[in-house]
A and B are shown apart, each in its own frame.
Chain A
Amino acid sequence: MFQRLRENKSAQGTLLALPTMVWMMALLIIPLLLTLVISFGRRSPDGGVIYSFSLENYLRLLGYSTDCENGASACFNSLYVQILWRSLTLAFNTTVLVILMAYPLAYFIARAQPKRRNTFLFLVLIPLWTNFVIRVYAWMMLLRKEGAINLIIGQVAHLLHIPFQPLELLYTPGAVLVGMVYEFLPFMILPIYTSLEKIDTSLYEAAADLGANAVKTFLRVTLPLSMPGVVAGTILVFIPVMGTFIVSDILGGRQVILVGNLIQRQFLDARDPTFGSAASLILMVLTLIVTYFYTRKFGFGEEIVVA
């Protein structure tokens, strides 16, 4: 039997993939199917699930409501559509901001002396040593009314004899955006750095040799060759931002509810797993659609192999 296995490359591959396949099956595919089944069910009065085939949860998410004013039997309620839209735009804005901040830094590291690069990469990774939630709490300390930022601005204002009311920074969409950008920045820096670092410096020289100045070299050579990194970073940032609820929970409070918070509350507070399951699936589908169109346009960031 071992003899045959030694000769059969594809069987070797299957064997190597088996543990992960079992794991994924048990902890991803099956739960996902369960979620799908539950999402079509109805909530029982005690917070359980009555299995049926009902589209009610999906209709609710898309704005169908039976709880109407004027005694109407059905009306449009934009609450959940708003939440989905807010999540989508926040994820988009976060990704754009993260790209804008990560690219110059990645570029700087990639062009630094080889000896120094590791030090810089190390510094980029240091924040990840601290727990995610603790880092978000740290932002709360900075942003709240009595927090460090208000304190410093207050002191400056005091010195300049300008009247100062502490700014409402916490529990705003801006606070959530700042938190998200902060949390996900390293996940963009690393892939962009990797693709920039791979570019042979003779390509820059070739571009200059052929008449391109620094700006044109960047736009025509550096940027296209580093796109695989940007694409990989975007996937690493956009998808988690779409689903996370901790940042919005801590920094957004009740003001900034994202689809992640919605799902969390259905399972833990409202005890409506059927609606929570439907929201989870909608989130997944939405993320898949965006990722599909994005990767169709830019690829998964692997087509271009830099010499």
Chain B
Amino acid sequence: MTNEYAVEMRDVVKRFITPEGNELAAVDHVTMQIRNGEFFSMLGSSGCGKTTSLRMIAGFEWPTEGEVYIEGKPMGHTPPFQRKVNTVFQNYALFQHMTVFENIAFGLEMEGAEKDEIQKRVKHALEMVQLTGMERRRPKQLSGGQQQRVAVARSLVKVPDVLLLDEPLGALDLKLRKEMQLELKALQQQLGITFIYVTHDQEEALTMSDRIAVMSKGKVQQIGTPVEIYERPANRFVADFIGESNFFEGTIKSLSKDEAVVHIPALNADVTALPVSNGLANKDEVVVSIRPEKVRISEKNSMNVNMFQGKVSNTVYIGTDTHVYLDVNGAKLKVYEQNRISRLDPKSFYEVGQDVWLMLMPENTLVLKKD
């Protein structure tokens, strides 16, 4: 491991011709550096280019422009079987005509490994995914979760530099998915292999990843740690895609390094907020974003700035939180209040129609580019 980056995509473009004959850039000038030993996720909805990016790293597709580097070496048109990366497919792609043992041994046989060596390594791989004793079963005789483990073992037995995972948990039910998330993460930490993980599930990405690339329409919107992505989204798309947010459109009235004043017509007021997106300028049309759990509700006006009077329009009790929907001068706002105290009295909750004050703390209120 001499290179800092396990995988690098430099200005990669992948164009397809659609069935209608139009040209479509599935991946549009994507640059990213994935560090050795990192759990890196590509997150986005379908059609955002995440799977195509992964397939270009695997070698199933070749870039139209730009270059993919693995361990510092440009891949060009290197076929998949000559790359030190392995893929766990979305549908597992297990060989149904082979037993579990044969499936896992396949990659080693292709390397020309000795019989004893294969025995030993397959056994070890099965232990790693806790499937010892299943050697003779056929994939069809296994549950979805077990098939998933076979697919992981089949790839890991080759000891790749990088393991690529294409929505590997998509077909599993929620409970099993959460278990497997933790298991995969533990496996990755234990082995120290770079994992590149494609998912559309933001919670999954936040749970597992060291860093996340949020993608949309073939472009990278932001690369960062889960905390960075959630707390300092690069733009409105990221703030909207990861978690939930209240958005207000407005115009920057004044701007310094760590404070911006934005006029918001919907609130008919100026809001002091934290400039977050790169390249903001005075008089820019921007969006102000605040997460529902970061809005504070109080009975009286306790601050001079960023306080707004609103009316409770609805409340929803969901156990951990109570969601409070508010109306502020006609603008809608949602607030998640954590239920920190065990209580039954309905009077202790906000009531519909109640007048309250809302506090938007400047450090929680982010100024973002519109896209």
Q: Which residues of A contact B (CB under 8 A)?
A: 200, 202-203, 205-213, 216, 220-221, 224-225, 304-307
Of B27-35, B67-75, B94-102, B229-237, the one touching chain A: B94-102
Closest to A212 in B: B110
Whether A307 and B91, one on each chain, are in contact in the complex, defined by CB atoms closer than 8 angstroms, is yes
Whether A203 and B93, one on each chain, are in contact in the complex, defined by CB atoms closer than 8 angstroms, is yes
Chain A positions within 8 Å of B80 at CB level? 205, 208-209
Q: Does B158 contact A (CB under 8 A)?
A: yes
Whether B95 and A203, one on each chain, are in contact in the complex, defined by CB atoms closer than 8 angstroms, is yes
Closest to A210 in B: B107
Contact A205 to B89, CB < 8 A, known contacts A210-B107, A210-B158, A211-B111: yes
Chain A positions within 8 Å of B81 at CB level? 208-213
Contact A205 to B110, CB < 8 A, known contacts A210-B154, A211-B158, A213-B81: no
Closest to B157 in A: A210
Contact A304 to B96, CB < 8 A, known contacts A200-B91, A209-B81: yes
18 contacts between A and B (CB under 8 A): A200-B91, A200-B93, A202-B91, A205-B60, A205-B80, A206-B87, A209-B58, A209-B85, A209-B86, A209-B155, A210-B106, A211-B111, A224-B97, A225-B95, A225-B97, A305-B140, A307-B91, A307-B96
A200 to B97, CA, bound (A): 13
A212 to B139, CA, bound (A): 20
Beyond A221-B95, A306-B96, 13 additional pairs, beta carbon < 8 A: A202-B93, A203-B95, A205-B80, A205-B87, A206-B94, A208-B80, A209-B58, A209-B85, A212-B110, A213-B81, A220-B106, A305-B96, A307-B96
A40 to B158, CA, bound (A): 67
Residue from A208, A210, A211, A225 in contact with B96 in the complex, judged by beta carbons closer than 8 Å: A225
Whether A206 and B89, one on each chain, are in contact in the complex, defined by CB atoms closer than 8 angstroms, is yes
Q: Does B265 contact A (CB under 8 A)?
A: no
A203 to B95, CA, bound (A): 7
Q: Smallest distance from the beta carbon of A186 to chain B beta carbons, Å? A: 26
Q: Does B192 contact A (CB under 8 A)?
A: no
Q: Which residues of B contact A (CB under 8 A)?
A: 58-60, 79-81, 85-87, 89-91, 93-97, 106-107, 110-111, 139-140, 154-155, 158
A208 to B97, CA, bound (A): 17
Main secondary structure of the interface of A (DSSP, over half): helix
A224 to B96, CA, bound (A): 10
Q: Smallest distance from the beta carbon of A273 to chain B beta carbons, Å? A: 48
A234 to B87, CA, bound (A): 37
Residue from A203, A209, A212, A305 in contact with B87 in the complex, judged by beta carbons closer than 8 Å: A209
Chain B positions within 8 Å of A209 at CB level? 58-60, 80-81, 85-87, 155
Q: Smallest distance from the beta carbon of B60 to chain A beta carbons, Å? A: 5
Closest to B86 in A: A209
Chain B positions within 8 Å of A210 at CB level? 81, 86, 106-107, 110, 154-155, 158
Chain A positions within 8 Å of B87 at CB level? 205-206, 209
Chain B positions within 8 Å of A304 at CB level? 96-97
A225 to B95, CA, bound (A): 9
